[in-house]
Amino acid sequence: MGLFSYEQLKGMNPGEFRVYNFVASHLNTAYEMNIRQLAGEVGVSTTTVLRFCEKVGCSGYTELKYRLRQAAGAQSKDGNFDVVPAVQYINSSADDPAFAEKLFQAAELCANADQIILSGDGGSGMLIRYGAYLFSSIGKAAFLAERGCKAVCPGGETRTAVLILSSQGDSEEIISGMNSYKKAGAALISITNAEQCPAAQISDINFPCYMPEVSRDFGNGELEPVSQIPTVYLLEKLTARIQKFLK
């Protein structure tokens, strides 16, 4: 089992999710902190940390530290990559009516669009290219905006769906571009790591993945999910659902 489950993470408020982001990306040091040190580092109250403990199934902060210590030991042996949270996400999605409804709505928007623009930041470049390949393979006009949302969004009668891939969902470039697309009347669909980020809130439809995060060298020092399997899964599920509308 993974350290935190998808069901636990999606029920967190922004403060609790900040605690998760910190401990998931600082496993080797977080378990050495007392509760006041952790709260101060994250910028939340100790009450928020205790609520986080409760939501992840810990009886208190001592149990959380124990679980973090165990996870840090396993990570040092196995490396950063861990497929378990991704498998949990896929299994949870398969049995989630709310996920199925969002997938239906997103597929309908894409099927009815005259063009689909894919954009992303961080390490999403290969993924948006893969998404464009998938959409093109079923006959949809798909275009890339690889450095933020720079592609032109025609107005008038042209119907546009924009798919945003952004782990943190808070960069100025992404948010500015999304706002421009929204003003032009485009439908916004995003895949982010959490639904508490600005990109998720701006979107018409958001798919949060809740993967553990680590620092990756993309030249910006930002955190990226350990696994991109959920994003690939979403792109392929979305493509398959769009295809049903086009038949």
Per residue in 182-191, pLDDT (tens digit) is: 988 899 999 9
Kindly state whether residue 37 falls inside one of the protein's structural domains: yes
Whether 50 and 60 have beta carbons less than 8 Å apart is answered as: yes
- Please state the rounded mean pLDDT for residues 70-91: 69
Q: Kindly tell me if the per-residue pLDDT of 82 is higher than 80.
A: no
Q: Are residues 60 and 93 in the same domain?
A: no
Sign of CA dihedral 126, 22, 230, 209: negative
pLDDT of 110 reads: 97
Q: Kindly tell me if the per-residue pLDDT of 101 is higher than 50.
A: yes
Q: Are residues 67 and 159 in the same domain?
A: no
pLDDT of 156 reads: 64
pTM: 0.71
Pairing of strands 187-192, 142-145: unpaired
Least confident of 29-38, 205-214, 234-243: 205-214
Beta-carbon contacts of residue 225 (< 8 Å; ≥ 6 apart)? 167, 193, 209, 211, 212, 213
Distance CA 139, CA 135 (A): 7
Q: Are residues 129 and 99 in the same domain?
A: yes
Kindly report, residue by residue over 107-117, the tens digit of the pLDDT: 999 999 999 99
Kindly state whether residue 122 falls inside one of the protein's structural domains: yes
Q: Encoding tokens for residue 238?
A: 């979305």
Q: Are residues 115 and 225 in the same domain?
A: yes
Structural domain range at position 184: 85-246
Kindly state whether residue 1 falls inside one of the protein's structural domains: no
Beta-carbon contacts of residue 229 (< 8 Å; ≥ 6 apart)? 83, 86, 87, 89, 90
Q: Are residues 96 and 56 in the same domain?
A: no
Q: Are residues 57 and 89 in the same domain?
A: no
- The number of folded domains in the chain is 2
Q: Are residues 66 and 153 in the same domain?
A: no
